[in-house]
Structure 1
Amino acid sequence: MKDDPTAPPARTRPVTLATVARHAQVHVSTASRALSETPSGVGADTIRRVRELAAVLGYRRDVGAAGLRTGSSRLIGVLVPRLTDLVLASIYESVDAAASAAGYGTVVANTLDDPEHRRVRLDAMLSRRIDGVIIGDSHNGDSAALELRERGVPYVLVMRTLEGHLSVSTDDYKGGRLAAEHLLELGHRRVGVISGDQLASTGRERTLGFRRTFEAAGYPVPDAYTVESAFSTPSGAIAGAALMRLPEPPTAIFAVHDLLALGAMGALRDAGRRVGTDVALIGYNDLDLAATLPVPLTSIRSDLARMGSLSVDALLAQFSGGTPHSTLLPPELVVRATTSPPAS
């Protein structure tokens, strides 16, 4: 009888660990250790032989079953304000890649920078027995990091910092200083700041570094020229418009986030001012869009990809019993067309 070509293919049984061990001529426990991410007590030649045979035979390690045996979910939770924020999206992309390379999955949750949302999202993550948490939305007064510490759940803050907690971030105070030094060198003396959320270290430290540098140079920035805001393009437009309504508008603006700078561009346009000619403008983070705007944006670069991968490294170190230290990555000034000397 001929085979029916329309019949579904016969199901093949999955290759088991015992099959791999038999072909490698080793005990099943030896094969298991050789295929683990941290093999111990197995020679290098055996590890190579077992792994090569596993690949040839099509064996796939059951990470879920391994998790049940070890008490590990192989999941890392990531808390972010909004994944629509290009900065957090860039960091999360590198977090996910680094976690995947280490054999972990990620679970991401938007907290909307709201304590109650954060509480609900964190509780949901903990119910899934995640192995650790990367916190990208920390604020002064937040309790999430303290709660994780009390529960014994490994965690690390990324991008933002809190005193006494492990973090991976950019030296934002220095970044603010670099922005101020650049404007001072160009001859600007009356400047404005769109300062973001001052409960977040990113807004606070960038603003502080900028204002202290101007003050040390003999040109303190008045409070009226510092406008607090959310980290969004509409907030940047509102803050930029407020600065342009001052009796003596600033000749330059430092926005502590590129999206704020983007909003400020719209406000300057609406006020009849040309960016980079009438008013200088500096952003922060150097997102990809900064170089492609009609007037390319001067910005302070943060290495977002490295920030994300280092935060995963910090968690993995904790998983293996290590005690990693906080990391401050160096910022870099990237000069483009939006900064020039004050208009005469």
Structure 2
Amino acid sequence: MSAQPVAQAAEARGTFGGDMDKGSGPVTLRMIADEVGVNVSTVSRVINSSDKEARRWASSDMIDRIRTVVAARGYQRNPHAASLRTRRSGLVGVLVPRLQDFVLATVYEGIEEAATEQGISTFVTNSLDRPENQASRTELMLSRRVDGLIFGDAHTGDPFLDTLAKRGIKFTLVSRRSGDHISATCDDIMGGRLVAEHLLATGRRDIGILSGRDYASTGNDRTAGVVQACLEAGIRIRPERIVHGGFDAPGGRQATERLLVQGGCPDAIFATNDFAAIGAMGVLRDRGITVPDDVAIVGYNDTPLAAELSIPLTTIHSPMHEMGRAGLNLLLAMLRGEPVESVRLAPELIVRASTAS
């Protein structure tokens, strides 16, 4: 017997806990169909589809009637039957550098929220931004029969994702982009431009950049946006003013110390992550350099801590939660065979005391 008939039979029988008014026993799709006056396949399609897809099979009034009866009778889907029918597990794997990172944790919350709305389960693992971990944990998730993958740890120029695509594995990227792979990110180049325009408007001309890891598109794109906007204003940022390092506070501290050693004290520092900006503030405080009078500081992402610092941090608001939702929805559309395009969400400049004149 093929998987499709087995699934239909299992779904029609059901394994559910509610009771119909007409006697005891589990609530089945057939009972729902008989009460509404349609066939079992129509009920199945309506309850297993989004609103848009359900309208392919039934009118809006009929969809409402079916869902009302389903709710009233306490019907619950049989996930085993659905898996047989679709040949899908209903499971999505997510890789992030570190879940302790506030940005990626918030992105994942968006992924999980959207997945729950669609009846999908997710599980997440950390790669620690190490290619060998990314490869091994990807294979682990594939062994668990995930329908698709979402990567928050893409490395620019790494052929790993190209190899996965050639294998026919469906995936999307969030936070970072890489090559032509489908992604949901903030428009980080525009975010960098907003930073440069703001600093130039406050009279700053010597800008140092804590650019993050050189394999992450986020830091590279944000840096590129600043450099481009400054060039258009006739200002060239010297190479020694761009320093790579970690996106966390210790990374920001180390990068700032190198920045000061390489070229002296700039009149502004842009950190491509709020936590790196906090590390930079610590270095300036220890050296008796005042913010913002001596040096203006700008961060990125608008984490909750940014507004609560003793000197509130000017930053770029990145729509992290929405990014996660978009990444999951892009993956589901891809799994349905629909055409998809990468999403670039708009950044917003949030001005606070760290750049006040």
Match of 2:223 among 186, 207, 216: 207
Partners of 1:14 and 1:228 lie apart in 2 by 61
* Structure 2 residue 62 is matched with structure 1 residue 50: no
In structure 2, give the amino acid aligned to 1:314. Answer: L
Match of 1:15 among 20, 24, 27: 27
Partner of 2:126 in structure 1? Answer: 110
Partner of 2:280 in structure 1? Answer: 264
Match of 2:102 among 76, 79, 86: 86
For normalisation by structure 1, the TM-score amounts to 0.90
Quick check: 2:241–2:263 contact (8 Å CA) kept in 1? no
Match of 2:82 among 47, 50, 66: 66
Per the alignment, do residues 22 and 197 of structure 1 end up closer, same or farther by CA in structure 2, a change over 3 Å counting?
A: same
Partner of 1:7 in structure 2? Answer: none
Partners of 1:204 and 1:254 lie apart in 2 by 13
Where does 1:285-296 land on structure 2 (aligned, <5 Å)? 285-296=301-312
Quick check: 1:241–1:268 contact (8 Å CA) kept in 2? no
Larger displacement relative to structure 2 (195-204 or 236-245): 236-245
Where does 1:311-322 land on structure 2 (aligned, <5 Å)? 311-322=327-338
Partner of 2:269 in structure 1? Answer: 253
Partners of 1:209 and 1:29 lie apart in 2 by 53
Give 3-state SS (helix, strand or coil) of 2:256's partner: helix
**Structure 1, unaligned stretches of length 5 or more?**
1-11
Partner of 2:324 in structure 1? Answer: 308
Displacement after TM superposition at 1:184 (Å): 1.3
Displacement after TM superposition at 1:43 (Å): 3.9
* Structure 2 residue 41 is matched with structure 1 residue 29: yes
Per the alignment, do residues 34 and 189 of structure 1 end up closer, same or farther by CA in structure 2, a change over 3 Å counting?
A: closer
Post-superposition Cα deviations, 1:84-105, rounded to whole Å, max 9, x if no partner, equal 1111111111111011111111
Partners of 1:200 and 1:315 lie apart in 2 by 21
Quick check: 1:33–1:42 contact (8 Å CA) kept in 2? no
Partners of 2:262 and 2:37 lie apart in 1 by 81
Post-superposition Cα deviations, 1:293-343, rounded to whole Å, max 9, x if no partner, equal 2211001121112211111221122122111111222222111000034xx
In structure 1, give the amino acid aligned to 2:336. Answer: S
RMSD: 2.0
- Runs of 4 or more off by more than 4 Å in structure 1? none
Partners of 2:346 and 2:46 lie apart in 1 by 39
Match of 1:143 among 156, 159, 169: 159
What percentage of aligned pairs have identical amino acids?
45
For normalisation by structure 2, the TM-score amounts to 0.86
**Structure 2, unaligned stretches of length 5 or more?**
1-23
Partner of 2:291 in structure 1? Answer: 275
Partners of 1:274 and 1:268 lie apart in 2 by 7
In structure 2, give the amino acid aligned to 1:225. Answer: R
Quick check: 2:240–2:263 contact (8 Å CA) kept in 1? no
* Structure 2 residue 340 is matched with structure 1 residue 328: no
In structure 2, give the amino acid aligned to 1:20. Answer: I
Displacement after TM superposition at 1:47 (Å): 2.9
Post-superposition Cα deviations, 1:219-246, rounded to whole Å, max 9, x if no partner, equal 3222222211021111011112233345
Partner of 1:166 in structure 2? Answer: 182
